[in-house]
Amino acid sequence: MSVSLTDHLAAALAEHDDTPLVVAYSGGPDSTALLHALALQTPRPALRALHIDHGLQAESGLWAMHCRRFCESLDVPFESVRVSVDLSRGEGTEGAARRARRAAFAAALRPGERLVLAHHRDDQVETVLLKLMRGAGPEGLAGMRALRALGAGDQWRPLLDLPREALLDHIALHALDTVHDPSNDDPRVARAWLRGTVLPALREHWPHVAQSVVHSARLCGEAAACLRDGWLAAYAELRGADGSLDVPGWLALPHAWRGPLLDHWLHGAGLSAPTTAQRETLERQAREAGAERLPLVGWLDTEVRVWRGRLWAMRRQGTFDQGWSSAWHGEPLALPGGGSLTLGGHRLGEPVTVRYRQGGESLKPVGDRHTRELRDLFQQAGVPPWERPRIPLVVAGDAVLAVADRWLSEAGKSVFDAAGAPPLWHRGD
């Protein structure tokens, strides 16, 4: 006999403390069933609902109103958050919406709260199959975790062992109204295509495919946990204080450690992880890197560079007008290469020019007996090559007065002493 959703949640809650719960409530059947079943619990846990409006469907405003009314009927506090979905990162609408939704959830969680998600066993099967098609290792094939940190609290998926049928039975039993997102039926969305074509065919030949896939995911999770102990210890030694990663040390790791360690490093910087093919390209270029080569491997919004024996990760940098220049009196000045230049509210007696390097510039820094080419100053100071073209120069005629807020000439010191403050470069990263 199958377990009802209400009984399953009662058992799950009994194993957890009395942490306040926040239901991720879209208005669809799954989250509606979850919210309703939690509201029926005796005693009822501390509970509120959080709805994310992506604004991607014309009906999204109506969905938010439906969710509010349903929560009022349950006497459950409700909050709707409208998010902007950034489609410029190259991850597709589904991926961009997921990123925006997760950021909104993290921002909305109060200290100690637990976000509850309605992902069930069928969702887990889809996740594992998608990871398999992308060539994931044990970490990815473990699927979704039941509990993980998020924002000021954590997120919990208590239904991963429960089939979706149990949630739909709950909806039917209580005659609950739900909303329908048409994107869930769009075959252009990988998850929807799997749900509508692949999984029915698999069930026809292997009726217990869901149980088998979830069991395999659990085994992969156990294997990934064992591997994690090893690569996390290595990560602590390979990551520098500047956020870069030691190349020889990374390449010397066992193959099974390199991928998850790299993903962990990138995710920690808020960047996306590579595919298997992209990681292999990065490994090959890192092995072949020399003093004259500065390998760059990019994907989606992420760039990873190899320089001075280390990996450097950053958000993909766009092009900018390197021939730009502007007169400057000390007011906040937006720079096309990123960031801005300010003078702390002070003003210059005479305007100067702000521009970028054109080649051959030199400077005699304050306290230095020698005039130095900017190229040599950058090399000695360890300024990464990809940052150098974006560093603003303050010039008067052909004389370089300042290199951003890094170096001043004697003439530059006089100019800025008279103004009352040196230039300050806000990098914008």
Q: Assign 402 to helix, strand or coil.
A: strand
Q: How far apart are CA 154 and CA 65, in angstroms?
A: 27
- Peptide bond connecting 43 to the previous residue in cis, omega within 30 degrees of 0: yes
pLDDT by position in tens, the chain (length 429) = 578 999 999 999 998 888 999 999 999 999 999 999 999 999 999 999 999 988 777 788 899 999 999 999 999 999 999 988 777 766 677 778 888 889 899 999 999 999 999 999 999 999 999 999 888 889 999 999 999 999 999 999 999 999 999 999 999 999 999 998 887 777 888 888 999 999 999 999 999 999 999 999 999 999 999 999 999 999 999 999 999 999 999 999 999 999 999 999 999 998 989 988 899 999 999 998 765 678 899 998 899 999 999 999 999 888 899 999 999 999 999 999 999 999 988 999 899 999 999 989 999 999 888 999 999 999 999 999 999 999 999 999 989 999 999 999 999 999 999 999 999 999 876
Distance from C-alpha of 238 to C-alpha of 229, rounded to nearest angstrom:
15
> Residue type for 67, please?
C
pLDDT, position 378? 94
Q: 235: Cβ–Cβ under 8 A, 6 or more apart, which residues? A: 261, 264, 265
pTM greater than the 0.75 cutoff: yes
DSSP 8-state class, residue 316: P
Q: Does an H or E element contain 171, and which?
A: helix 164-174
Region for 78 from its dihedrals, namely left if φ exceeds 0, alpha if ψ lies in -120 to 50, beta otherwise: beta
C-alpha to C-alpha distance for 343 and 335, rounded to whole angstroms: 14
How many CB atoms neighbour CB 381 within 10 A?
A: 10
Beta-strand relationship, 393-396 and 352-355: antiparallel
Instruction: Give the bridge partners for 307, in sequence order.
Output: 310
E-strand spans in 340-423?
340-342, 352-355, 362-363, 372-373, 393-396, 399-403, 407-408
What DSSP line would sit under 228-296, residue for residue?
HHHHHHHHHHHB-TTS-EEHHHHHTS-HHHHHHHHHHHHHHTT-PPPPHHHHHHHHHHHHH--TT---E
pLDDT value at position 393?
A: 97
